[in-house]
Structure 1
Amino acid sequence: MAKRRSNQEWQTILESYESSNITQRAFCEQNRLNLSTFHAKRQLFASKEQNVTAGFVRAEVVERTTKCQSSQTPTANMTLLVNDVELSIPQGTPAAYLAELIGALS
């Protein structure tokens, strides 16, 4: 009858395999493990790791509005195309505001 191992025991076995630098077959033979069981446990633990790292993270939506008022009467508009978004901006718009706007659209 096969020995039943806990998840902690399998975790230790899998860590030992990862540091062994030998094939799965050779490792299983040395440690008297069933190769198909070893492979199944290895896949199971790998999928559990992916689920842990691919989980949800808490996000917070922050709304920030920036206003730009120009004291000069614009004589013409300039048009910028950023990431398939066309912007029509009055000439004389401060460069810092444009940089912030383009950064927000990127």
Structure 2
Amino acid sequence: HAGDGNLHVNFLLDRANTDELVRAERATQELFDVVLKLDGTLSGEHGIGIAKSPFMSMEVGDTGLKVMKSIKKALDPNNIMNPGKIFEPNWAFFRKSKNLTANSATRT
């Protein structure tokens, strides 16, 4: 995607190594800070996704996040559409998963 301005970054690490998890979390935060300073976006062409959802407020702010949550609640009052996917992800799952990219394990 680099030709059209989309760059996807994944950190490779051993999830069993706590030090590597902490370093990956720090690197992800630093990377996203730079991306936003350069007027980039965290979401790319396919939406924020589960792995980056904890960082969504960095881009849209707390007010933007509240608006998104209120829209979700209005459209899905019983929380049956993708429950827990974006606003309340289960990060313990990502830390244990071997099938996800490292940046999926960046928040607890």
The TM-score, its normalising length taken from structure 1, stands at 0.21
Q: Whose strand fraction is larger, Structure 1's or Structure 2's? A: 1
Higher RCO, Cα 8 Å, sep 6+: 2
Higher helix residue share: 2
TM-score, normalised on structure 2? 0.21
Larger Rg: 1
